[in-house]
Structure 1
């Protein structure tokens, strides 16, 4: 699993290839071709979603993993560095897929961490109390910002959310175990990667 994956990867249906978003981007299995496809698709999503149909584009972005399958996204983005648009998008979509797959568990972790990470809790912007529905709403709202808002803000909000969850994981019973400790470290690594990318985006547009 990629370093940034926040938790156990849920089962997803096979990626759909019938008229999918990446059609026209991926022309083969050559690594150089896939890398170029990843960059082109990421730039289109982050820099090109502007105009009268912004809302429709934003909704399509939010549900990209649902319509294409997380495997299709992984094919072109999972190997990208964390300080690139493609790498950031991969981490954001993994985060959303994980929240939707285990919203109740995520809500418990967020609740456990929000009092110890109050600033991050505020930045993340989750409704109070942070139940499963509120978590799904928050993570979808964050991804909508990819196409309609400040991408640095998207990264900072996602980072703050991941940091609160990491703190919560560390405070929940059983966190002393090796598997739980590894999950805390991976979540913190994800938070740090997204935050660092947000600062880079503020200094210069990521590519």
Structure 2
């Protein structure tokens, strides 16, 4: 996400961009957030042209995360723009941290379970597998069953969150092993890192619940 971005094509309505640049009142921004999310989803579902799907899939890289954040990031997690924002951020996170995420999946899911089947992940995914999965989940939201895409995302984040908790426990155990001979500084560093990992795990679990709730709302026709 820190690399330079290519010039942004006009994939967002110019009126939206102008409104963001000039500043909108919260109510108008909320309405634009919902309308833009619904329009984007509807456009792809009624088109399914591979080029259109690719442009939507790579919206963060081409339009820019800041622009999308300004439009969708404040939307409620039980809304269409809020869920789409989380799906886009999940894809970005998975692609950026593919190596560590592949490791966390193997830690959290050492034996294939229903989560593997739902998410569509091999028992021991490679970095390339993680990238393909990230694209598959997001594109599935546009050209497949939206609820299924959210359920795949939920299963994936749930396992990775578990992997983080396992790694945290191992880190603390190593720092306090052998009768606690680790230096106070080393033990403090380990506990600080462990606290950060647990915070990330908790955030992922919250996102898991958002995806699950979004899937339920979509099936009931109430995700707007």
Q: Which runs of 5+ in 1 are unaligned?
A: 1-9
Whether 2:18 is the aligned partner of 1:24: answer no
Kindly indicate whether the alpha-carbon contact (under 8 Å) linking 1:16 and 1:69 is maintained by their aligned counterparts in 2: no
Aligned to 1:174: 171
Q: Secondary structure at the match of 1:181?
A: helix
User: TM-score, normalization: structure 1?
Assistant: 0.86
Equivalent residue runs for 1:82-161 within 5 Å: 82-115=77-110, 118-161=113-156
Deviation sequence 1:102-140 (CA, Å, 0-9, x none): 110111111111237822222100245311110010110
Match 1:194 to one of 211, 218, 222: 211
Q: Greater relative contact order: 1 or 2 (C-alpha under 8 angstroms, separation 6 or more)?
A: 1
Aligned to 1:65: 60
The change in CA–CA distance for 1:169 and 1:117 in structure 2 (over 3 A counts) is farther
Structure (1 or 2) with the greater helix fraction: 2
Question: How many Å separate the matches in 2 of 1:52 and 1:181?
Answer: 42
Aligned to 1:5: none
Aligned to 1:4: none
User: TM-score, normalization: structure 2?
Assistant: 0.80
Q: Which runs of 5+ in 2 are unaligned?
A: 173-190
The change in CA–CA distance for 1:128 and 1:116 in structure 2 (over 3 A counts) is closer
The change in CA–CA distance for 1:24 and 1:108 in structure 2 (over 3 A counts) is same
Deviation sequence 1:177-205 (CA, Å, 0-9, x none): 21111111011111111011101111114
The change in CA–CA distance for 1:150 and 1:53 in structure 2 (over 3 A counts) is closer
Deviation at 1:13, TM superposition (A): 4.3
Question: How many Å separate the matches in 1 of 2:211 and 2:198?
Answer: 20
Please say which structure displays the higher CA radius of gyration: 2
Corresponding pairs, count: 198
Whether 2:38 is the aligned partner of 1:43: answer yes
Question: How many Å separate the matches in 2 of 1:112 and 1:135?
Answer: 14
